[in-house]
C-alpha cells in the first residue's frame, strides 16, 4: 500500500477476535488565508501601537500558534506565491513578477502543493488572487499580437479557456480576478472568464491599462471573493474528501477600496479600514468552518505574501500606524520588513492555544510539514527548500532551520541572528527613516546585522566581524549554486 493509502487510516479487523482497532485520525482539512501586502505591524496582536482593530485574526492567533519570525520567500508577490505552492525558494525559478497575460510560473515537472494534496485524496480550490500567469496571450486572435504591458481587448479570444491558470496547476476549482491591479479586469471561474472583457481601460492611479469587463467595480472584488470562499466551504459539508482551500486576498493591496460598513472603522485612514474589512473576511471563513462542523479537523494558516507597500511611510507620519512595526523595510526591498510577515497556524490537537514561537520559519516550509502530516513522501527533487516544522508546532523543538536565503535584486542570507546583505538598495524616504531612527546606507553597500542586538537593522557592523562576513558570504555563494541550507 502507498504512503497515501496508509495515511488515510483504513479500519483493520482483528480476524480471530472480531475486534475493531480504531482507525487512524482522518486527514485534516487545510485552509490557507493569504493576505496581499499586509505588514507585520498590521496585525493588532503584534503591534501594541496599532491603529487598526483586527479582532478575528487576533482571536485566531490566540487559538493557535503565532510566529514572530515567519517569512515569505520574497518581498514581492508573484515570487512568494510561487514559493508557498512549491516548497522552494522563488529565486530557483525567477525573482520577478508574473504577467497575467503570460505563461504559468510553474514548470511542467514542478509538483505544486495542490497537486500533492489532490494526489492524497483532497478536493482543492483557490479563490482570489493568482498572479502566477494564466496564459491568456496563447489565445491571441489570428493576425493580432499581444503587448503584455498594454494588451488590447480585441487581440484575445476570451471565449477560450485559460491554459495556464490554477486549474492547470492542481486546483479543482478556481474563482478570482487574477490580480487586482493587472488586466484583464473581470472574474475568472475555473479556466474561463465569467464575462468576456469588452472595453479597454487606461492606466489608473493604482492599476495597469488593459482589457476589462464593462462597469468593473474594484471595491466589489473582496466581498465577492469572501462570499465564494464561504459558499465553497459550505459545499464540502457531507462529502467524504478532505479539502484544501487557498483563499488569496486581493487586500490590503492597492487599489485600496474599503466598502461600507468598514469606512472609518480604523484610525489609519482608508488603508486601515481595508485591513478591518480583510479581518472581517477572515472571520467569515472561520465562521463558515465552525458553522459547518469543520473547525476541529481543519488546519488554518494565515500569512501574507510580503510586507507593506511604500504608502506605509506617509500613513505612519499622518496617523501613527506603522505597518512594519519594529522592523526596517517594506515591500520590494530586502530588509526584514519586506519579508517578515504575519504568520499564524491553528492546528487543533497540535498547536497550543495562545502559544508564541520565535523560531525562524518560512512559507516554503508549509509543503514539507503538510506532506509529513498526511504521509506523503515528497520526491527528492521536489520542495527542495521545505523543512517540516511540525516539531515547532507541537513544541517538541525550538527550531528546525537556521538559515534562509533572500533575493529581490539584492542577495542576502539569514543565519541564526546574523543577516548579511550584498549591495543594498534603500527604498525608504529619508523622512521615514528619520522617524523610525534609522540612517540610510550607501547605495550598493554590503551590510551585516545581528537581529538579537539590533532588530531594526539600524547599524552596519560589517567591519567589526570579518570572519562572520566571510562565513555568510560563503553560504550565500553556495546557495547561488543551488545548494540547500538548513541547520548546521
3-state DSSP of 78-125:
HHHHHHHCCCCCHHHCCCCCCCCCCCCCCCCCCCCHHHHHHHCCCEEE
- pLDDT confidence of residue 479: 84
Calculate the average pLDDT of the chain: 92
Catalytic pick among 56, 71, 90, 131: 131
Could you write out the DSSP letters of every residue in 260-286? TTSTT-SSSHHHHHHHHHHHHHHHHHH
Residues of the chain with CATH 3.30.1120.10: 403-488
Tell me how far CA of residue 67 lies from CA of 17, 108, 226, 343, 362, in angstroms: 48, 33, 25, 5, 10
* Tens-place pLDDT, residues 317-358: 999 999 999 999 999 999 999 999 999 999 999 999 999 999
Report the percentage of the chain scoring pLDDT > 90.
Answer: 88
Least confident of 115-124, 197-206, 349-358, 370-379: 197-206
Q: Does the structure show a pLDDT above 50 at 13? A: no
Catalytic pick among 56, 71, 77, 126: 77
Q: Is 131 a catalytic residue?
A: yes
Report the percentage of the chain scoring pLDDT > 70.
Answer: 93
- pLDDT confidence of residue 426: 87
> Which CATH code fits 403-488?
3.30.1120.10
Tell me how far CA of residue 10 lies from CA of 2, 177, 244, 350, in angstroms: 12, 40, 21, 22
The CATH fold of domain 30-401: Alkaline Phosphatase, subunit A (3.40.720)
Q: Are 62 and 354 in contact (CB under 8 A)?
A: yes
Q: For residue 353, give the C-alpha cell.
A: 492555544
Residues of the chain with CATH 3.40.720.10: 30-401
State how far the Cα of 320 lies from the Cα of 264, in Å rounded to an integer: 16
- pLDDT confidence of residue 482: 63
Q: Mean pLDDT over residues 52-73, rounded?
A: 98
- pLDDT confidence of residue 107: 93
Q: Does the structure show a pLDDT above 60 at 484? A: no
Nearest to 27 by CA among 14, 9, 39, 44: 9
Q: For residue 80, give the C-alpha cell.
A: 512568494
- pLDDT confidence of residue 10: 30
- pLDDT confidence of residue 47: 98
- pLDDT confidence of residue 45: 98
Q: Are 162 and 130 in contact (CB under 8 A)?
A: no
**What is the distance in angstroms between the CA of the first residue and the CA of the last residue of the chain?**
35
Backbone angles phi, psi at 199, to 5 degrees: -125, 160
* Tens-place pLDDT, residues 264-314: 999 999 999 999 999 999 999 999 999 999 999 999 999 999 999 999 999
Q: Are 297 and 26 in contact (CB under 8 A)?
A: yes
C-alpha torsion angle, residues 413, 302, 333, 136 (rounded to 10):
110
* Tens-place pLDDT, residues 16-32: 333 333 334 589 999 99
pLDDT class of 485 with cuts at 50, 70, 90: very low
Tell me how far CA of residue 364 lies from CA of 196, 341, 475, in angstroms: 35, 13, 19
Q: Look at 93 and 81; give whichever has higher pLDDT.
A: 81
State how far the Cα of 5 lies from the Cα of 398, in Å rounded to an integer: 31
Q: Are 342 and 40 in contact (CB under 8 A)?
A: yes
Q: For residue 180, give the C-alpha cell.
A: 487586482
* Tens-place pLDDT, residues 182-241: 999 999 999 999 999 999 999 888 899 999 999 999 999 999 999 999 999 999 999 999
Q: Is 126 a catalytic residue?
A: no
Q: Mean pLDDT over residues 448-466, rounded?
A: 97
Amino acid at each position: 500500500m502507498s504512503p497515501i493509502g496508509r495515511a488515510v487510516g483504513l479500519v483493520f479487523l482483528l480476524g480471530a477476535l472480531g475486534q475493531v482497532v480504531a482507525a487512524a485520525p482522518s486527514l485534516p482539512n487545510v485552509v490557507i488565508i493569504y493576505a496581499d501586502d499586509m505588514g507585520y505591524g498590521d496585525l493588532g496582536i503584534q503591534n501594541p501601537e496599532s491603529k487598526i482593530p483586527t479582532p478575528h485574526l487576533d482571536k485566531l492567533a490566540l487559538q493557535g500558534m503565532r510566529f514572530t519570525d515567519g517569512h515569505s520567500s520574497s518581498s514581492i508577490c508573484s515570487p512568494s506565491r510561487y514559493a508557498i505552492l512549491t516548497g522552494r525558494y522563488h529565486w530557483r525559478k525567477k525573482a520577478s513578477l508574473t504577467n497575467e497575460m503570460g505563461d504559468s510560473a510553474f514548470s511542467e515537472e514542478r509538483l505544486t502543493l495542490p497537486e500533492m494534496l489532490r494526489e492524497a485524496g483532497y478536493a482543492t480550490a483557490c479563490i482570489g488572487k493568482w498572479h502566477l500567469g494564466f496564459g491568456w496571450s496563447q489565445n491571441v486572435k489570428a493576425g493580432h499580437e499581444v503587448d503584455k504591458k498594454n494588451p488590447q481587448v480585441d487581440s484575445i479570444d476570451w471565449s477560450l479557456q485559460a491554459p495556464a491558470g490554477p486549474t492547470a496547476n492542481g486546483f479543482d476549482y478556481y474563482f478570482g480576478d487574477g490580480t487586482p491591479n493587472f488586466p484583464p479586469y473581470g472574474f475568472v471561474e475555473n479556466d474561463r472568464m465569467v464575462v468576456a472583457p469588452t472595453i479597454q481601460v487606461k492606466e489608473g492611479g493604482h492599476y495597469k491599462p488593459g482589457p476589462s469587463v464593462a462597469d468593473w467595480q474594484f471595491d466589489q472584488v473582496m466581498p465577492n471573493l469572501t462570499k465564494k470562499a464561504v459558499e465553497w466551504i459550505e459545499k464540502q459539508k457531507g462529502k467524504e474528501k478532505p479539502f484544501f482551500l487557498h483563499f488569496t486576498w486581493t487586500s490590503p493591496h492597492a487599489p485600496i477600496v474599503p466598502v461600507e460598513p468598514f469606512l472609518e472603522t480604523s484610525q489609519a485612514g482608508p488603508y486601515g479600514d481595508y485591513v478591518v474589512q480583510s479581518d472581517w473576511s477572515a472571520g467569515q471563513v472561520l465562521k463558515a468552518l465552525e458553522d459547518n462542523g469543520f473547525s476541529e479537523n481543519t488546519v488554518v494558516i494565515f500569512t501574507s505574501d510580503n510586507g507593506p507597500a511604500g504608502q506605509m511611510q506617509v500613513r505612519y507620519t499622518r496617523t501613527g500606524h506603522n505597518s512594519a512595526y519594529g522592523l526596517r523595510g517594506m515591500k520590494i526591498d530586502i530588509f526584514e520588513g519586506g519579508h517578515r510577515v504575519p504568520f499564524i497556524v491553528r492546528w487543533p490537537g497540535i498547536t497550543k492555544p495562545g502559544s508564541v514561537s520565535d523560531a525562524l520559519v518560512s512559507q516554503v516550509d508549509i509543503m514539507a510539514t503538510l506532506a509529513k502530516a498526511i504521509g506523503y513522501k515528497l520526491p527528492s527533487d521536489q520542495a527542495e527548500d521545505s523543512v517540516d516544522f511540525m516539531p515547532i508546532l507541537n513544541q517538541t523543538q525550538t527550531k528546525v532551520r537556521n538559515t534562509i536565503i533572500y533575493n529581490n535584486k539584492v542577495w542576502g542570507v539569514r543565519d541564526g541572528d546574523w543577516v548579511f546583505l550584498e549591495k543594498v538598495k534603500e527604498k525608504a524616504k529619508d523622512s521615514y527613516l528619520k522617524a523610525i531612527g534609522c540612517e540610510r546606507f550607501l547605495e550598493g553597500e554590503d551590510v551585516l546585522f545581528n537581529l538579537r542586538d539590533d532588530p531594526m537593522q539600524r547599524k552596519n557592523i560589517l567591519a567589526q566581524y570579518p570572519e562572520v562576513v566571510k562565513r555568510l558570504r560563503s553560504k550565500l555563494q553556495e546557495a547561488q549554486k543551488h545548494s540547500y541550507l538548513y541547520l548546521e
